[in-house]
Amino acid sequence: MNAGPAGAALSASQRTASRDVSAMNRPPLSALRRLALLGGLAALLPAAHATQLVHQNLKQMIAAADVIVSGDVAKVGDGIDHGLPFTEVTLKVKESVKRDMALNSSYKFRQYGLLKTRKMGDGRYMLPAKIEGMASWKVGEKVTIFMNKPALRTGLVTPVGLAQGKFTSSGSKLANGFNNRDLFKGMTVDPSVLNANEAAMLANQSGGAVEGGVLNHFVKRAISEQWIEKGVMR
């Protein structure tokens, strides 16, 4: 006689638990938008789709970046700070373009999301977020990164254009998380300021890795010679 109601109650409880786990695994759009606003992602989240990326060419990334730095990924960790999950990355600086940093100094930043599942104080679990296009990090990587300005309230930050703004070295070559797709699309540079290697790099519209030394020197020149401000780069 009592088996039916008890079974129904148990089933309802199971369904509730299942919904809780699902919700933790896939944050609702409103939650993603709120975290985006805190972590500097808002400009990359169109109204129709929270994870649809906005294309950023090299000129746009140079203009938007608060920090441009090259170095080795020395440490990667994660945690939860005031309810916000973060991944913390420490870079050993080899060269900085925007913002002066000493050689071999540490540049540390936090971006939204965990590396692994973590148990919270109330017994529930917080799962790693799956946000399309978010840059990932590995100790030992040699990178050049274009970083947004950290969010005022949380300090969270991302590369400009998410993985578009993180260039990883493979030998002498550099490529971002999208294999440099459309990296030079929609931008022009006065040919008179370019050397032969830079001109050849910009002429490649098919994507793929580029010579790291050429790219980094090009970016350094663009900033030091104020190409964007003077209309040399558009």
Q: What is the pLDDT of residue 31?
A: 43
Whether the model clears a pTM of 0.85, i.e. scores above it, the answer is no
Model confidence at 122, pLDDT cuts 50, 70, 90, reads confident
**DSSP per position, 96-147:** EEES---TT-EEEEEEES-SS-EE-TTS-EEPPP--TT-----TT-EEEEEE
Q: What is the pLDDT of residue 52?
A: 66
Q: What is the pLDDT of residue 129?
A: 77
Separation of alpha carbons 87 and 114, rounded Å:
6
20-68 pLDDT, tens digit each: 333 334 443 344 444 444 444 443 333 333 446 889 999 999 999 999 9
**Sign, CA torsion 95/99/100/103:** negative
Q: Which residues of 47-63 are buried (b: 16+ CB within 10 A; e: fewer)?
A: eeebbebeebebbbbbe
Model confidence at 232, pLDDT cuts 50, 70, 90, reads very high
Residue 151 three-state SS: coil
Residue of higher predicted confidence among 222 and 37: 222
141-173 pLDDT, tens digit each: 999 999 999 999 999 999 999 999 999 999 999
Average pLDDT for the chain: 84
